[in-house]
Amino acid sequence: MILGTIPTRLVGAGVAEREEARVRRGTNLPWVGDYNQAVVLDGVRRHPGTSRTDLALATGLTLQTVSNIVRRLLERGLVAEGEPLSRNGSRVGGKPRTALAVRSGAALAVGVQFEREHVDAVLLDLSGEVLAADREPLPDLPGSRERAVEVAVTHATGVVRRLIDTCGSPDAVLGVGVAVPGPLDFAGPVRSSAINLPGWRGVAIADMLAASTGLPVLVENDATAAAVGDLWRSRRVGRSFLYVHVGAGIGGGVVVRDEVLRGESGNAGEIGHVVVEPDGPACSCGAGGCLEAVAAPAAVVRRYAERVGVAAARRAGLRLAERSVLDDHDRLGVRAAAGDEAAGQELQTAARAIGRVVLGVVNVVDVSEVVLGGSGLRHAGERIRDAVRAALGVAMTREVHPVEVRFSDAGEQAGALGAASAVLHEALSSTWVGVHVPAREIVISPVAPVH
């Protein structure tokens, strides 16, 4: 991919405020009109207030091509024109430049994230803003794993309908994105066998939700979804990063130069199943000593209880139940801060293990950012961030480029937000053209090309 660097303007920013924007390059070959449309729309979306002239400079397309595409995007209601821009108060080439922006309500998507205890859902607009969000608790169904999936889908359908009802323009909803823990199977009907969700074995989740909501459904591994969300809502292009999700399990999403790495079957980035202790504890995936079995909240809580004894752990405020793992993990974070050495050491062991695996991945895929997210970071986030930073001190590329380590700004709904972003990304972004990805959707129609 070739990048161009040119100045664009912000809406209402006046003459003085400019920023260097890096925008994808287009091509003037006639048969790639759909690609060019995606490039132009992506440029407008990432840089509200940009002009046709700026877009032409940034994309390498002729001003005429950009103008034609913008005219049709205006006709279709995807883009709107704002105030005329002027440079130093004068007209440029006799014709005022006009600020362009996407019409944020023109395309919407719902994102759904399945967790053990609840379903999260968000309604996202074209500009990346969350219009509405909801969380539906799931009932505990001990001994009825078969019904667990059915009940989860029923609850998810309810929350999707509620969100769409609130938006006032149901026709603008392009589809539903679903974030689930891996592994996934994209061959045939998209199936999820989420090892961290009870009863999920070969669940044809896309078919089920498409039938119950009447909408196209796209399925994404939860950490990959979170990575797509971070990518979609970013103004920069050409990013390479690893998204590390620490929730009930540990997962990863890899983005290299804006391309989302999904692998052969949609399961790329499963950093939770990198072996860190060859003789370590059994993992839910069937192997032993995986990062998840050593460093996920459940592992930290279990080791603490083994170390101090179950009675002492309960006195320390831990409930030690399957559904209380994240709360117990939070409790250990609070206790560690208050001086509980055992809690601090177990959390540190986990943080160091995460750091080691992140170092390995960074060395393999050469990224310049590590983004941390998930509910396992509520009280352990800074410790994990610091351990990752320390581990990256010996990264192969340390003298070539820095690797920034930061927290995701998407909060605990990163998966849902990412799944909704994936729908918009699939339908509208310039990266969907020409990139072979596994078919993971029940047809999210791309916005029709301009010819």
Q: Are 299 and 292 in contact (CB under 8 A)?
A: yes
- Report the 10 Å Cβ neighbour count for 340: 19
Q: Are 293 and 271 in contact (CB under 8 A)?
A: no
290-319 binders of Zn ion (CB under 5 A): 290
The residue among 164 and 283 lying less far from Zn ion, judged by its C-beta, is 283
| CB 276, min distance to Zn ion, A | 10
Spatial CB neighbours of 197, under 8 Å, sequence gap ≥ 6: 114, 115, 116, 148, 149, 152, 180, 181
What 3-state class would DSSP assign to 422?
A: helix
Token pair in block for residue 265 = 């079957």
- Report the 10 Å Cβ neighbour count for 177: 35
Annotate each residue in 255-294 with x if it binds Zn ion (CB under 5 A) or - if it does not, as one string. ------------------x---------x-x-x--x----
| CB 142, min distance to Zn ion, A | 24
Q: Are 125 and 173 in contact (CB under 8 A)?
A: no
| CB 270, min distance to Zn ion, A | 8
Spatial CB neighbours of 274, under 8 Å, sequence gap ≥ 6: 290, 291, 357, 360
Residues paired with 18 in a beta bridge: 9
Query: Which residue's entry shows tokens 């392009």?
Result: 174
d(CA 352, CA 373) in angstroms, rounded, equals 17
d(CA 110, CA 234) in angstroms, rounded, equals 19
The residue among 261 and 285 lying less far from Zn ion, judged by its C-beta, is 285
| CB 196, min distance to Zn ion, A | 11
The residue among 123 and 301 lying less far from Zn ion, judged by its C-beta, is 301
| CB 248, min distance to Zn ion, A | 13
| CB 280, min distance to Zn ion, A | 10
Between β-strands 173-180 and 217-221, what pairing exists: parallel, antiparallel or unpaired?
parallel
d(CA 323, CA 174) in angstroms, rounded, equals 34
Radius of gyration of the chain (CA): 23
The residue among 274 and 417 lying less far from Zn ion, judged by its C-beta, is 274
The residue among 318 and 350 lying less far from Zn ion, judged by its C-beta, is 350
Sheet containing 217-221: order of strands: 130-137, 118-125, 108-114, 173-180, 217-221
| CB 265, min distance to Zn ion, A | 16
| CB 440, min distance to Zn ion, A | 22
The residue among 70 and 290 lying less far from Zn ion, judged by its C-beta, is 290
Phi/psi of residue 352, each to 5°?
-65, -40
The residue among 116 and 273 lying less far from Zn ion, judged by its C-beta, is 273
Residues paired with 179 in a beta bridge: 113, 220
Query: Does residue number 419 form part of the binding site for Zn ion (CB under 5 A)?
Result: no
The residue among 290 and 424 lying less far from Zn ion, judged by its C-beta, is 290
The gap between the terminal CA atoms of the chain, to the nearest Å, is 23
d(CA 313, CA 319) in angstroms, rounded, equals 8
d(CA 239, CA 256) in angstroms, rounded, equals 7
The residue among 250 and 417 lying less far from Zn ion, judged by its C-beta, is 250
The residue among 100 and 357 lying less far from Zn ion, judged by its C-beta, is 357
The residue among 157 and 196 lying less far from Zn ion, judged by its C-beta, is 196
| CB 273, min distance to Zn ion, A | 4
| CB 295, min distance to Zn ion, A | 11
Q: Are 439 and 431 in contact (CB under 8 A)?
A: no
The residue among 180 and 427 lying less far from Zn ion, judged by its C-beta, is 180
Q: Extract the runs of DSSP E, i.e. beta strands, from 237-365.
A: 241-246, 250-256, 259-261
Let me know how long the chain is.
Answer: 451
CA 184 to chain CA centroid, nearest Å: 16
Annotate each residue in 129-158 with x if it binds Zn ion (CB under 5 A) or - if it does not, as one string. ------------------------------
| CB 182, min distance to Zn ion, A | 11
d(CA 245, CA 412) in angstroms, rounded, equals 10
| CB 397, min distance to Zn ion, A | 28
# residues contacting Zn ion (CB under 5 A): 5
Please give the residue ranges that form the binding site for Zn ion (CB under 5 A). Answer: 273, 283, 285, 287, 290
